[in-house]
Chain A
Amino acid sequence: QSALTQPPSVSGSPGQSVTISCTGSTNDVGNYNRVSWYQQSPGTAPKLMIYDVTYRPSGVSHRFSGSKSGNTASLTISGLQAEDEADYYCGLYTTSSIWVFGGGTKLTVL
């Protein structure tokens, strides 16, 4: 199975922007847009934040956006708020019809 690499942690002050990366390979992230992002606050189930690299579900703040460059997908959170502090996971639906998750990134709001 493919491996997705995320930074273990990122941090930012309220009002700032932070970007979380998710790096795969040419065979997956590089050639397909099947990347989604999930936010998980402590003790709760993950929540879908972004799908197909750039699409935002209804109800998710416009401060969350997704992008991709080469083999790396990214989640950007602008106007950082205390409530954004959580773990974030990228997920990829592979061409083999199985899923792979990244190792997760802990976002700390300073």
Chain B
Amino acid sequence: QVTLKESGPVVVKPTETLTLTCTVSGFSLNSPRMGVTWIRQPPGKALEWLAHIFPNDEKYYSTSLKSRLALSTDTSESQVVLTMTNMDPVDTATYYCARMSAVMFFRFDYWGQGALVTVSP
């Protein structure tokens, strides 16, 4: 059974750095052609893809947020960590991690429940 779960602060202050952790189970972060993706959704707005990482440590970032994002993996803990610097109130959103399967086709086949992060002084 594949599961993903996001964890991190509920509130951060403007200019602070956000660190979110995605803990996965039911698959290995070393699984070929399986990546972990971060996606966010501001309240009442659309999904926005942020970044993803693959087992070979290949990383891709949103063009508009690239300078503020970083991904890392702790394979032993089955965790993927997303850091986002210089947080602003417009970054208030629910942050999801999802498994991206690239086996034959590309899709997000499993999602975490999401973590609401509020940026407020």
Chain A interface (Cβ within 8 Å of chain B)? 1, 34, 36, 38, 40, 45-48, 51-52, 55, 57, 89, 91, 93, 96-104
Contact = CB atoms under 8 A, between A and B. Distances in A.
Interface of B: 37, 39, 46-49, 52, 60-64, 96, 98, 105-109, 111-114
Contact of B105 (A47, A55, A97): A55
Contacts of A102: 46
Contact of A46 (B60, B63, B96, B105): B96
Contacts of B114: 45
B39 to A, nearest CB: 8
Contacts, number: 61
A90 B46 CA distance: 11
Nearest to A53: B105
20 contacts: A34-B106, A45-B96, A45-B111, A45-B113, A46-B47, A46-B108, A46-B111, A48-B107, A48-B109, A89-B46, A89-B47, A91-B47, A91-B49, A91-B107, A96-B60, A98-B60, A98-B61, A101-B39, A101-B47, A102-B46
B49 A100 contact: yes
Contacts of A101: 39, 46-49
Which of B47, B63, B105, B109 is most buried by chain A, counting CB atoms within 10 A of its CB? B47
A96 to B, nearest CB: 8
